[in-house]
Amino acid sequence: MTVLHIINKSPYERNSLDTCLRLARPDSAILLIEDGVYAVRAGSSASATLQQALEKHPVYALQPDLQARGVPTESLIDGIKVVDYDGFVELTTEYEKTQSWL
């Protein structure tokens, strides 16, 4: 079963991202929304974790949340795909199940 994992918490406040990545199957995707988008900055303390995740999973970040938090797309880790709200909805239809990590 394919799963879209949705992370909305900052990796600096919660361990949701680490837990998700430890349990996610290779056919799963990761979508970072709200404060979860702080993890996608190249050179951040979470960047090594996400770079490893990109070897197994497509990783997405929600554009409006990047903008709202002042994270420019030029600062993202290579390989992170940026989606808008329509892209978010499309991802939820692409995968059989969604799992939100709180």
pLDDT tens digits along 55-95? 999 999 999 999 999 999 999 999 999 999 999 999 999 99
pLDDT digits (tens, 9 = 90+) for 15-57: 999 999 999 999 999 999 999 999 999 998 888 999 999 999 9
C-alpha distances out from residue 48 to 5, 9, 43, 55, Å = 19, 18, 8, 11
Mark out the alpha helices in the chain (DSSP H runs): 16-23, 47-53, 63-68, 85-94
The alpha carbon dihedral of 54, 77, 45, 37 has a sign of negative
Please state whether the predicted TM-score (pTM) of the whole model is above 0.85: yes
CB contact at 8 A, 60 and 80: yes
Residue 35 has phi, psi (to 5 degrees) of -75, -10
d(C-alpha 24, C-alpha 57), whole Å: 9
Domains (ranges, CATH) in the chain? 3-101 (3.40.1260.10)
d(C-alpha 56, C-alpha 86), whole Å: 24
